[in-house]
Amino acid sequence: MGKAKKKYSFDNHPEDRAKLGPCRDRWIANAVSTKPMDDEDRAAMHVAIRGLHEAANLPPPKNIVVAAGPVTAAFAACYASIVWYLRAHPELHIKLLGRAVTEADYSAAVGLACSPGRIPTYDATRAATDDATRAATRAATDDATSAA
């Protein structure tokens, strides 16, 4: 039996140990980042997805859905899958929906599908803004009146 290969040790490679802190910091910053994806991020993600599929000897995905987070992705995936299915099977439009479906129909459906989650958020934001504006205006008016 041959001699066991010596395990790698940072003790013998201080130059590699020195890289750990900056590498850790980059990964932590990435993990806790709330920065929205930009076009450069999306392009890099598409390259990475295709590269991972290629490395696994799998065909690349036909479609990639980019979403703000996991919950958004779940909704987007459901909606996207039916749109892709209906686009691929226009012969089913009349049978399923009573008429041919257009791109305008798909676009209009997005707003309707999103409104139950969007409307309460808008209402709460509007109410909070109105309350804060009223309070600030009242305080400024009171201060100005008292000073006069």
Two structure tokens written together for 74: 């779940």
| Inside any domain, residue 138 | no
> Domain tally for the chain?
1
- At residue 38, φ and ψ (nearest 5 deg) are -110, -175
Tell me the pLDDT tens digit for each residue of 121-139: 777 788 888 888 898 899 8
How many other β-carbons are positioned within 10 Å of the β-carbon of residue 46?
Answer: 14
How many other β-carbons are positioned within 10 Å of the β-carbon of residue 93?
Answer: 16
| Inside any domain, residue 9 | no
| Inside any domain, residue 47 | yes
| Inside any domain, residue 145 | no
CA separation for the pair 30, 15 (Å, rounded): 24
Lowest mean pLDDT among 16-30, 44-58, 67-81: 67-81
| Inside any domain, residue 44 | yes
Instruction: Using the predicted structure, report yes or no on whether residue 43 has a pLDDT greater than 90.
Output: yes
| Inside any domain, residue 8 | no
Q: Annotate 76-142 with three-state secondary structure.
A: HHHHHHHHHHHHHCHHHHHHHHCCCCCHHHHHHHHHHHHHHHHHHHHHHHHHHHHHHHHHHHHHHHH
Helices (H), 39-69: 39-55
Rounded to an integer, the average pLDDT of 92-113 is 88
More confident position, 69 or 87: 87
| Inside any domain, residue 87 | no
The reported pLDDT for the residue numbered 118 is 62
Contact 66, 42 (CB under 8 A): yes
Tell me the pLDDT tens digit for each residue of 70-102: 788 888 888 889 899 999 999 999 999 999 999
Instruction: Using the predicted structure, report yes or no on whether residue 117 has a pLDDT greater than 70.
Output: no
| Inside any domain, residue 55 | yes
Residue 51 structural domain: 36-66
